[in-house]
Amino acid sequence: MKKLVGVIIALVVILAVIILSVVILGNMMGIERFQTGENPLLRFGSVFVGGLIALVVFLFTRENKAWEIGTRQVVWMAIGAALYAVLSWVFNGTVFVVPSLSQVSLRPAICIPMFFGYAFGPVVGFFTGAVGNMFGDALTGFGLSPQWSIGNGLVGFVAGLPMLFANKKKSLDLVLIIGAVLAVIAAVIYFVNRNLPNMLFYDVANNIFGDATISLFAGISIIVGLVLVVIVRFAFARNIDIAAAVTWSMLGNILGIGFAAITDIWINGYSPAAAIVGEFLPAAGPNLIFAAILVPLLVVAYAAVQKQSGR
């Protein structure tokens, strides 16, 4: 019962932070950076769906210690969300902007919810990704997209699921295969639809939308990222923490960003092909590259800190 209460409270807090920020700060106080776009009910509906997904996974595995939430986990939630918000703000619009249907730039900070999920559990990862992304977008002035905040939350949530396995190594090959299949399918969709008409991208510098063809970089980045993940998986086969963290982060990235992009089919009226080519690939592809490069560094650094502190 204690685990159930803890998980529900965490999910309710995530939902409350997003909704109250939009209602109070965005609508009542008129702060544009906390306002959301059209179809707010559908946007908030995606928040409920994302939370429901997490709750279902919990219910099927509720006896596992991964769901224990105490003071330590709460502290890590706050630290993770703060770090992700600040680093997202630093990199949003300040680095290479990837042509897309929305506001997509290279985001090395995605390694934060991935690592926090893997190191401290799926609930910590969910909170870090969802709340951190929301405040990062607000600090940048993008406005709030609840479906993308929950998508980022799911990235951290899935990255934390290795804690459910007594033997992390047994899950790796299946997770790698599932992630690889999804990545290849997305790449194929790109090459079939790369010249979609009326494709739009967001020009951060001038704060306008304009016509553009999604770049080849977006299409091939997910394959480059997949190759890097495979290399890390087998190059560090003896270091199960690095291999598991990167492999599960790959799956979390694909499922979480995929969730956000697919919900935009209903929220923004995109076609399925446009959602995959114009939103999912520009965001998920570079994320996968950062996962393969940066997550191992964080795992190694954390292991060194643990060893030095004797924990």
Q: What average pLDDT does the segment 125-132 reach?
A: 96
Number of domains in the chain: 2
Residues 242-254: tens digit of each pLDDT? 999 999 999 999 9
Of 136, 164, 192, which marks where a domain is finished? 164
Of the given ranges (31-40, 163-172, 209-218), which has the lowest mean pLDDT? 209-218
Model pLDDT, residue 57: 94
Q: Is the separation of the CB atoms in 250 and 226 below 8 Å?
A: yes
Residues 238, 172 share a domain: yes
Judge if 285 and 221 occupy the same domain: yes
Across 130-139, 181-190, 266-275, least confident range: 266-275
> Which of these three, 164, 187, 217, is where a domain ends?
164
CA distance 127 to 149: 10
Residues 172 and 130 in one domain: no
Please state whether the predicted TM-score (pTM) of the whole model is above 0.95.
no
Q: Give pLDDT, residue 198.
A: 47
- Asked if residue 104 and residue 181 are part of one domain, the reply reads no
Q: Within 10 Å of residue 306's Cβ, how many Cβ atoms?
A: 11
The residue that leads in pLDDT, 31 or 98, is 31
**How do residues 174-233 score in pLDDT, each as one tens digit?**
999 999 999 999 999 888 876 654 455 444 444 444 455 566 777 789 999 999 999 999
Angle between helices 40-60 and 146-159 (to 10 degrees): 20
pLDDT in the model for residue 42:
86
Q: Calculate the alpha carbon distances from 252 to 122, 195, 258, 277 in Å.
A: 11, 28, 9, 19
Statement to judge: residues 70 and 176 lie in one domain: no
The confidence score (pLDDT) of residue 205 equals 46
pLDDT at residue 114 tops 90: yes
- As a whole number, mean pLDDT of residues 133-157 equals 89
Domain hosting 231: range is 168-309
Q: What is the pLDDT of residue 202?
A: 45
Round to whole Å and give the CA distance between 35 and 202.
18
Whole-number pLDDT of residue 219: 79
Q: Are residues 127 and 219 in the same domain?
A: no
Q: Are residues 239 and 138 in the same domain?
A: no
Express as a percent the part of the chain with pLDDT over 70.
88
Percent of the residues in the chain that have a pLDDT greater than 90, as a whole number: 51
Of 216, 237, 228, 234, the C-alpha closest to 294 is: 228
> 299 with 246, same domain?
yes
| Amino acid, res. 125 | G
Evaluate if residue 156 carries a pLDDT over 50: yes
Q: 215 and 156, same structural domain?
A: no
**What's residue 279's pLDDT?**
87
Q: What is the mean pLDDT of residues 82-106?
A: 77
Same domain flag for 23 and 159: yes
User: Is the domain of 218 the same as that of 297?
Assistant: yes
Residue 291 has pLDDT above 70, yes or no: yes
Alpha-carbon radius of gyration of the chain:
18
Place of tokens 């996974």: 57
* pLDDT at residue 27 in the model: 72
Interval 284-303 mean pLDDT? 95
Of 113, 141, 164, the one marking the end of a domain is 164
